[in-house]
Amino acid sequence: MPSTPRTPLASAHVDPRLLRAFLAVAEELHFTRAAARLYVAQQALSRDVRRLERELGAELFVRTTRQVTLTADGERLVPYARRVLGAQDELLAAFRQAARPLLVDLNSPGLATGRRVLHRARELAPEQELMARYESGLTGAAGELLAGRLDVSFGRFAGLEPGLRAGLDHQLVRYEPMAVVLPEGHRLASLAEVPLEALAGETVYAGAGNPRTPEWTDLARRLFEGRGIAVAPPAPMAVGEEEFERMMAKARTPILAVVGFPAMPGTVLRPLVDPVPLSPVSLVWRKGLVHPGFDALRRAAVEIGNACGWLRRPVEGWIPAIDVDMLKRKK
């Protein structure tokens, strides 16, 4: 077999993550087992190995439908990778004892996605302190992330202003099905599911005017466009669940929500269908963040996402084109 042509290294830096991906495959000789060990998707693991091969200018594995084996270059790289990763682990261990708490914004106490990821991360890294915060919206949290007063948040990354996105990074966690909260006695409250077309002529609350949640209002406008559904005008900004419930009870306006939205007195929650609108929820952090608890949080997101099918988009699912494009670029 002809040897892989040598090419100069693209840069003097090799990302340790790529070495960790390589070493997992080298030790397992199986991409699926290696991906499970690292709590990443197999596609992402394969992509990292291919990137390392490009950066080193060497083929590291021979892949067939039946087995994976190391090439001579792969065998040569193994001890180097172990030394590099061992040194990195020693460095991180030296600072773990004094690691500060990781501040994790869950937006709202009642939302399930971030809370489930946080609880699992605490199980994966019980020695770390992961503390919940509640900023009520990703845009509100983004400024705190960039200022270092928060570490991570959850929300729709594509809905942030470009200036905010420039200093942040993200990992898609879930395509969360959307729903509508209806007052008891509303004409649609008796339905088990609410087709989007049935909301034509309605005015729906989606946080308009709330400076912390414009990414959610933008999602609503894109969803309602051309369907005869209006976004409710700004209301006085309510702080806390009790005030929000009081304001919504006065307005008796349908509320755009997600399927895991917490129960509110005097209302019913109904999933939206035809199509099923999806809210792309990402884990969002400031670029350059390093914290052992953060690693556990990312692993937890992948583990739960795989177990619960959070990243499977239904055939009839809908998300905005801008989100689709941004997620493609992330891949």
pLDDT value for 331: 62
Is 9's pLDDT higher than 60?
A: no
> What is the rounded CA–CA span in Å between residue 76 and residue 59?
11
Distance between start and end Cα atoms, the chain: 32
Is residue 236 over pLDDT 90? no
- Inter-residue contact 276 to 195 (CB < 8 Å): no
**Is 48 or 292 the better-scoring residue by pLDDT?**
48
Is 142 in the same domain as 262?
no
> Tell me, what CATH number does 253's domain have?
3.40.190.10
HEC string for the chain? CCCCCCCCCCCCCCCHHHHHHHHHHHHHCCHHHHHHHHCCCHHHHHHHHHHHHHHHCCCCEEECCCCEEECHHHHHHHHHHHHHHHHHHHHHHHHHCCCCCEEEECCCCCCHHHHHHHHHHHHHCCCCCEEEECCCCHHHHHHHHHHCCCCEEEECHHHCCHHHHCCEEEEEEEEEEEEEEEECCCCCCCCCCEEHHHHCCCEEECCCCCCCCHHHHHHHHHHHCCCCCEECCCCCCCCCHHHHHHHHHHHCCCEEEECCCCCCCCEEEEEEECCEEEEEEEEEEECCCCCHHHHHHHHHHHHHHHHHCCCCCCCCEECCHHHHHHHHHHC
* Residue 187 pLDDT exceeds 50: yes
Q: Which of 75, 96, 117 is the last residue before a domain boundary?
A: 96
* Portion of the chain with pLDDT greater than 70, in percent: 92
In a shared domain, residues 185 and 195: yes
Residues 66 and 198 both lie in one domain? no
Note whether residue 130 is domain-resident.
yes
How many domains are contained in the chain? 3
Residues 155 and 214 in one domain: no
Domain extent at residue 58: 16-96
Looking at 1-5, 190-194, 255-259, which range is the least confident one? 1-5
**Average pLDDT of the segment spanning 24-42:** 90
Least confident of 59-63, 99-103, 230-234: 99-103
Tell whether 9 is covered by a domain.
no
| Domain match, 219 and 243 both | yes
Final residue in a domain of this structure, among 42, 70, 96: 96
In a domain, 8, yes or no: no
Domain holding 63: CATH number?
1.10.10.10
Residues 270 and 208 in one domain: yes
Which of the residue ranges 22-31, 96-105, 113-122, 156-165 would you say has the lowest mean pLDDT? Answer: 96-105
pLDDT value of position 238: 67
Domain-embedded: residue 226:
yes
Q: Are residues 169 and 297 in the same domain?
A: yes
For residue 10, tell me if it sits in a domain.
no
**Predicted TM-score of the model (pTM):** 0.71
Claim to verify: residue 164 and residue 308 sit in the same structural domain = yes
> What's the pLDDT tens digit per position in 74-96?
999 999 999 999 888 887 766 65
Residue 158 shares a structural domain with residue 300 = yes
In the predicted structure, residue 11 carries a pLDDT above the cut 60: no
Residue 35 has pLDDT above 80, yes or no: yes
Count other C-beta atoms under 10 Å from residue 301's C-beta.
Answer: 28
The whole-number average pLDDT for the span 94-101 is: 66
C-alpha closest to that of 305 among 180, 154, 193 = 154
Q: Does 184 share its domain with 312?
A: no
Residues 6 or more apart whose Cβ sits within 8 Å of residue 172:
280, 281, 282, 311, 327, 330
Is residue 324 a part of any domain in this protein? yes
Report if residue 317 sits inside a domain.
yes
Query: What confidence tens digit (pLDDT) does each residue in 281-297 have?
Result: 999 999 989 888 999 99
